[in-house]
Amino acid sequence: MGLLRFFTRHGTAANLLLVAIVAFGLYAATQIRAQYFPDVVSEAITITVKWDDASAEDVDKSIIAVATPDLLEVEGVSDLSAIARDGRARITLEFEPGWNLDRAMNEVEAAMPAASALPGGAETPVIRRSAWRDGVLTVVLSGDLDRPQMERLGETLKGDLQRAGVTRISLRGLTAPRIAVVADPAALAEYGLTLSDLSDQVETEATEASGGQLSDSATRLRAGHDRRDADSIRAIRIETDRGPVALSDLARVTVDSAGSGRAYFMAGRAAVTIAVDRGVGGDALKIQKTVRQVSDRFLESAPPGLRIDLIDNKAARISDRLAILVDNGIFGLLLVLGLLYLFLSPSAALWVAAGIPVSLAAGIGLMWLTGQSLNMISLFALILCLGIIVDDAIVVAEHAEYRHRSLGERRPRAAERAAIRMLGPVLASTVTTVVAFLSLHWVGGHFGSFIATIPLVVAAVLVASLAECFLVLPHHMARGLGRLDDGPLGAPARAVTRGFDRMRAAIFEPALRWVIRLRYAVLLLAVAATLQAVLMIQTREVQWRFFQSPRSDTITANIAMLDGATRDDTLAMLKEVDRATRAVRSRFTADYGADPVQYEISQIGGTAGRGLAIEDDKDTDLLAAISIGLIPPDQRPYGSDAFVQALEAELRKPDTLETFSFRAGRYGPASDGLSVIFAGDDLEKLKAASLALQEQLAGIPEVSGVQDDMSRGTIDHALSLNAYGRALGFQVGALATELSARLSGLTALTYLDGSREAEIDVELPEGAISAGYLDEIRLQSQVTGEWVRLGEIVDVAPRPALGSLRRENGRNLLHVTGDLDDSDAARAEAVRDRLNSGILPGIAQTYGVDYALGGQAEQERAFLSDAMKGYLICLIGIYMTLALVLGRWGQPLVILAVVPFGLIGVVWGHALWNMPLSIFSVVGMIGMSGIIVNDSIVLVSAIDEKLPSRATIPAVIEATSQRLRPVLLTTLTTVLGLAPLLTERSSQAEFLKPMVVTLCYGLGLGFVLVLLVVPSVVVIKHDLSLALRSTRRLPGLLARLQARRRRAASKPYEM
């Protein structure tokens, strides 16, 4: 208490503290970084093992199946996934958030089998930590220039950006020059050469070698010279058993200057792109500013016709969308200030309101110190705190005014005693709110990281508010501007006070008496209303939508052509997508009066957005993508999913198309809206089940972008040694090695052509490896020395090969993913029900596979499980806090009795706004539990103060009536601080509205229930205690009655 008295009486201590906090907050505001969403960083380690020429089945059996058991035992691993592809394996280990990856790397290296333990031909495993990046924007250079010139300009701009400090950038769209040495199989057989022999000699002859250095000289000798063009490659002499032979006699040398690299096009013109990312802690707004300045300077000296566009600019959207919350926060702040002015005296209102900027400044300062950012979630948490901040100050200021005006105490004494008297209840209410929000830390996974900012911000601001309430406010109330209260500025407050006092005496107190008389009926009605709210959820009268991801303005179409198609086929498909886009664009422009498309950029040789699950298995010539930038959502009356559905309906798909995935971009940590995981031993049945599911989903308009992660590989020729081959001494392993050297295409040399990577490849002609060709290969027996045809010693059986296999936690799996349009929650839920009750059970029974729902469904299960644990911890924490502060076991139960009834307002509010419950509704309910008990604490504390000197019912009525104004004020300030967001029309704030509805309606109706239920429960508790006392006295009464009867019976009967 000495600290409170010191700050109340000292002339400058409180003001110095106030100035220091505000200055610290203002400085932090200039330093804190801004971004759209919090960083959700995945802690992962990736292991890659190359095994040339091995099939996906062999990779799965000999590498993944061997490595997985030991890797699963590494401490901290939350998930293990593995993909086996032709020629390589990739194992990904995901770790718990915050896990020490340095330690994990050491453990993974120890657990991973060494190269010596892997099959012959497998390379040493490469183990890497995943690097987290978040896209900021993409710079597109386009123009009527040839592609080499565009590439040079892109390289120059990339260098300028790096010199300006923008380092996380990647230049895309560079061609990959390629020289192909296409060997003649007959010539190889004639000279007894294999592809491996040819590749080794081409590499040796094409590479300049060092010849050493002269002694006492800086002169270095070089042997040979680099061969980097087709003519010099053709002139290479190949050593054979019959003497040197010109390479041109053994192979055809061709040059593809454009190579098979990635090429971009914008508005039909050549383009290159520079993707700009940021790492953890990077400031997107500062990066965007630097990129724009560098690009503007670059254009000043660029050749005519060059154009630079900044597309997919997430940084620009950050400012716009944070501004939405800032505007609503300012509006909510004005409403709170207006309410304080009407219900408190001008001096009290002024100093209570002063706590808002002080607490917010302290909160922002603590956010900056702890490495937080200003984003949609943290800014919403600050807006949430607008009304909660003043709750403590309202209680102290209102009690100080009561002591000054009603008890006649001088202002300094009234302020000091009010602070001391309210320290316990205010401390309890603040701690319970902080405990409630901190329990959200029990939510794990990506969504736990996503909402982790909310409890941190709320805790920081409320602790700062508590300090301001008791160290700064009492001093100002003691030396407040009391002269303003009796002047014209105080007239509105005096009028409201008189009207409020009349209402309290004439309406509230009589109503409260009736409530207490009917206390059991009131409690039963509250319980019935709560059960009815639960029933509304169970019967889906109020829908559920786990997470409404804010939609981005970008749509991506990813294309994969069937094996056997050509680059020209892929380009033709790109033109068809462009035609469909123009058709839909024209139709939407005519229907809605505005062109929906801002830009369109296409590419061949790669994918965009989320990409394709099978892209690693495809020749890059068979991959393509188109990215379409739409106008902002608030400028169009339709969602991006509607545009996607129109495009898919317009598109004409050729027979050479394998996979086509149209997806609308989303923000946030949510996984695929639709994700089905098939598990089974038979890979053919897994693929068949996937195709059956995709066929059924194709008829559901709400589903788009469906694909699986198992591609069809080429035709495998399964070779098995026959009896004759075994008799000649041939072995399976040696035979596989020999055939690999003869048949597998090889990269003889990789070199830099400027900044581009170029290749010299040695390969057989396309289609050369047929069953007939294999049959004619001649091999020498190590036992007899005779030469035999391969067809004589093996049996050849062609079969379709699977290009990739996925294994997770030791099981063979196949993932089918897609987007589910959840803008209509009821229709989305109907699609899920149809999947669960009809489609998936039927497919599982038909193909004999197991299935499970992954993606958002899996995230939802994990989140709700964690949220339930967090909620139980929240209630236990609140109870323990109240028991410690109040010093009793029973009173906390009375205070907590109102918590379940908050569900009534939550469900009714969502029903009134026709809004589905969501993850943020759950988060809001957990936080609301800590806020709603604050009014109960104030009320029960006042009742306890009256009980020693009054009977229970009069004490309850008097205390409830006396605390009506602070309870009303604390509720209204919280609700009004958030209310502007309820009417916000921007679609970018839509995902936050469930939490706003939860808090506004839950606390609004909760305030009424506090005034009805808490007094009723206090009196019912008194009734029960009387009944219990009577029960305890009953044995004694019965004993005395029996004794009296015995005495009466023992007396003689008198006539």
Residue 213's pLDDT band (boundaries 50, 70, 90)? very low
The model's pLDDT over 297-351, given as tens digits with 9 standing for 90+, comes to 999 888 988 999 998 887 777 777 777 778 887 887 888 888 888 887 777 778 7
Q: Is the pLDDT of residue 725 over 80?
A: no
Amino acid at 317: R
Cβ–Cβ under 8 Å, residues 397 and 477:
yes
Helix (H) or strand (E) holding 961: helix 952-962
Predicted local distance difference test score (pLDDT) of residue 658: 86
**Mean pLDDT value across residues 1039-1047:** 72
**What pLDDT sits at residue 220?**
42
Query: Roughly how many angstroms between the first and final C-alpha of the chain, as a whole number?
Result: 78
Q: How confident is the model at residue 292 (pLDDT cuts 50, 70, 90)?
A: very high
What pLDDT shows up at residue 734?
67
Q: Is the pLDDT at 982 greater than 70, yes or no?
A: yes
In 3-state terms, what secondary structure has residue 451?
helix
pLDDT band at 1021; cut points 50, 70, 90: confident
Residue 223 has pLDDT above 70, yes or no: no
Q: Exposure string (b/e) for 52-91, b if CB count within 10 Å is 16 or more?
A: ebbbbbbbbebbbeebbeebeebebbeebbbbbbbbbbbb
Give the class (CATH, top level) of 551-666.
alpha beta
pLDDT band at 776; cut points 50, 70, 90: low
Please report, rounded to a whole number, the percentage of residues in the chain having pLDDT higher than 70.
87
Instruction: Tell whether domain 133-175+258-312 is in CATH 3.30.70.100.
Output: no
- At 993, the amino acid letter reads K
CA distance 522 to 525: 5
Residue by residue, what is the 3-state secondary structure of 44-57? EEEEEEEECCCCHH
Query: 808 or 441, which is more confident?
Result: 441
Give 235 or 1044, the one with higher predicted confidence. 235
Interatomic CA distance for residues 227 and 907, integer angstroms = 75
pLDDT of residue 1054: 53
Q: Is the pLDDT of residue 687 over 50?
A: yes
More confident residue, 943 or 42: 943
Confidence of residue 635 (pLDDT cuts 50, 70, 90): confident
Position 116 scores a pLDDT of: 64
Give dist(CA 647, CA 627) in Å, integer.
13
Query: Residue 525's pLDDT band (boundaries 50, 70, 90)?
Result: very high
Right CATH number for 2-31+317-426+433-474+520-545+861-1029 from 1.10.10.10, 3.40.50.970, 1.20.1640.10, 2.120.10.30?
1.20.1640.10
**pLDDT higher than 90, residue 117:** no
Q: Check the CA dihedral 502-505-511-516 and report its sign.
A: positive
Which pLDDT score is estimated for 209? Answer: 40
The pLDDT value recorded for residue 484 is 57
Residues 48-68: what's their mean pLDDT?
81
List 204's β-bridge partners, or say none: none
What is the overall mean pLDDT for the chain?
81
pLDDT tens by residue, 878-910: 888 888 877 788 888 888 888 888 899 999 999
Nearest to 88 by CA among 117, 118, 53: 53
Domains 42-131 and 551-666 share a fold: yes
Amino acid letter for position 65: A
Q: Is 553 helix (H, G, I), strand (E, B) or coil?
A: strand
Whether 747 has a pLDDT exceeding 80, the answer reads no
> Residue 550: what pLDDT?
67
pLDDT, tens digit, for every residue of 380-407? 888 888 778 877 788 787 778 777 777 7
pLDDT, tens only, 485-510: 666 777 888 888 889 889 989 999 99
Cβ atoms of residues 513 and 628 within 8 Å: no
Q: Is 640 helix (H, G, I), strand (E, B) or coil?
A: helix
Whether the pLDDT of residue 1055 is over 60: the answer is no
Q: What CATH number was assigned to the domain covering residues 178-212+222-256+714-802?
A: 3.30.2090.10
For the ranges 556-570, 682-696, 724-738, 1006-1020, the lowest mean pLDDT is seen at 724-738
Q: What is the pLDDT of residue 224?
A: 45
Q: Is a pLDDT exceeding 70 seen at residue 211?
A: no
User: Taking Cα atoms as reference points, which of 468, 380, 513 lies closest to residue 956?
Assistant: 513
Q: What is the mean pLDDT of residues 498-527?
A: 91
Q: What is the DSSP letter of 972?
A: H
User: At residue 943, does pLDDT exceed 90?
Assistant: no
Q: How many angstroms separate the Cα of 125 from the Cα of each of 83, 111, 116, 129?
A: 14, 12, 11, 13
Tokens of 801: 């090969």
For residue 556, count CB atoms less than 10 angstroms from its CB and return exposed for 0-12, middle for 13-18, buried for 19 or more: buried
More confident residue, 99 or 526: 526
How high is the pLDDT of residue 278? 82
Say yes or no to pLDDT of 649 above 60: yes
Q: Which residue has the tokens 């993508």?
A: 625
SS3 assignment, position 595: coil
Q: What is the pLDDT of residue 205?
A: 78
Give the HSE-up count for residue 825: Cα atoms under 13 Å, Cβ half-sphere. 16
* Assigned token pair, 199: 């590749």
Q: Considering the entire predicted model, what is its pTM?
A: 0.75
Q: Could you tell me the pLDDT band of residue 212, with boundaries at 50, 70 and 90?
A: very low
Range with lowest mean pLDDT among 166-170, 206-210, 574-578, 600-604: 206-210
3-state secondary structure 848-868: CCEEEECCHHHHHHHHHHHHH
Phi-psi region of 472 (alpha: psi -120 to 50; beta: other; left: phi over 0): alpha
Taking Cα atoms as reference points, which of 154, 146, 160, 159 lies closest to residue 173? 154
DSSP state of 917: B
The domain segmentation of the chain, as residue ranges, is 2-31+317-426+433-474+520-545+861-1029, 42-131, 133-175+258-312, 178-212+222-256+714-802, 551-666, 675-703+827-854
More confident residue, 167 or 778: 167
CB neighbour burial string for 984-999, b if at least 16 within 10 angstroms, e if fewer: bebbbbbbbbbbbbbb
SS3 call for 180? strand
Per-residue confidence band for 64, with pLDDT thresholds at 50, 70 and 90: confident
Instruction: Check whether 605 has a pLDDT greater than 70.
Output: yes
Q: Residue 251 forms beta bridges with which residues?
A: 183
Residues 6+ apart with CB under 8 A from 882: 428, 432, 891, 892, 895, 896, 933, 937
* Correct CATH for 42-131 of 3.30.565.10, 3.40.1280.10, 3.40.50.300, 3.30.70.1430: 3.30.70.1430
Q: Which amino acid is at 893?
A: L
Q: What is the pLDDT of residue 775?
A: 66
Which token pair is 273?
């792109």
Question: What is the C-alpha separation between 66 and 119, in angstroms, rounded?
Answer: 10
Torsion of CA 473, 479, 480, 484, to 10 degrees: 180
